[in-house]
Amino acid sequence: MTDRLKERLADGRVARDTRLLGDFARIYCSGKHPDREKRPLSSTGVELGVYGKAPVVCDECAALLVYAEKRRALCPQDKPGSAKPFCSHCETHCYKPDMRELMRDVMRYAGPRSLLHGHAIDGLRHAIEGRKHAAELRRREAQARG
Ligand code: SF4
Ligand SMILES: [Zn+2]
């Protein structure tokens, strides 16, 4: 565990996003992988207590979470003074293709269902951010057309 990773995971916003990823992966894994063997996640974030209780997931979802935990903590888009975009709206997506694909599936499946799991605020933030992102893209396209 690097000091940098530890330090970033201790940041409130990083911890909040990481905990949300854990909840999404848990919802996804229990819905999509009901027959797989599951165990409590083992990761730096778990060691530091960012999830509260360690998410119980299959090996594939655990690998995604360990990977996403590190990406989020060391995100190059997370700069002081500017809000980090949601990964799904990020222009410099730092995920490798297979992890990106799996995370897309997780978000698509767990996003709407998370509203039933007490994540209404995060769901709304995501919707608002998505609308802003679409408006920004339209603005750039209009600008490019002159
Ligand atoms: S996808 Fe973009 S916003 Fe998400 S962690 Fe990577 S660089 Fe940061
Ligand atoms: Zn799974």
Closest-lying ligand to the alpha carbon of 100? 1
The pLDDT, as a whole number, for residue 38 is 98
pLDDT-derived band at 112, boundaries 50, 70, 90: confident
Distance CA 29, CA 14 (A): 22
pLDDT-derived band at 120, boundaries 50, 70, 90: low
The pLDDT, as a whole number, for residue 102 is 95
How much distance in Å is there from the Cα of 35 to the middle of ligand 1?
Answer: 31
The pLDDT, as a whole number, for residue 86 is 80
How much distance in Å is there from the Cα of 135 to the middle of ligand 2?
Answer: 34
- Among residues 34, 77, 72, the alpha carbon closest in space to that of 56 is found at 34
pLDDT-derived band at 73, boundaries 50, 70, 90: very high
Residue 72 Cβ < 6 Å to ligand 1: yes
Number of domains observed in the structure of the chain:
1
How much distance in Å is there from the Cα of 54 to the middle of ligand 2?
Answer: 14
The residue contributing the CA closest to ligand 1 atom 6 is 94
Place of tokens 């894994």: 29
Strands 56-57 and 39-40: antiparallel
Nearest atom within ligand 1 for CA of residue 94: 6
The pLDDT, as a whole number, for residue 64 is 97
The pLDDT, as a whole number, for residue 109 is 92
Q: What is the mean pLDDT of residues 78-89?
A: 80
More confident residue, 112 or 11: 11
The pLDDT, as a whole number, for residue 135 is 74
Instruction: Give the other-Cβ count within 10 Å of 28's Cβ.
Output: 25
pLDDT-derived band at 54, boundaries 50, 70, 90: very high
Distances (CA, A) of 27 to 2, 15, 84: 29, 18, 24
Residue 77 Cβ < 6 Å to ligand 1: yes
The pLDDT, as a whole number, for residue 1 is 52
The residue contributing the CA closest to ligand 1 atom 3 is 87
pLDDT-derived band at 41, boundaries 50, 70, 90: very high
What is the rounded average pLDDT for all residues in the chain? Answer: 86
Residue 129 has pLDDT above 80, yes or no: no
Range of the domain at 118: 3-145
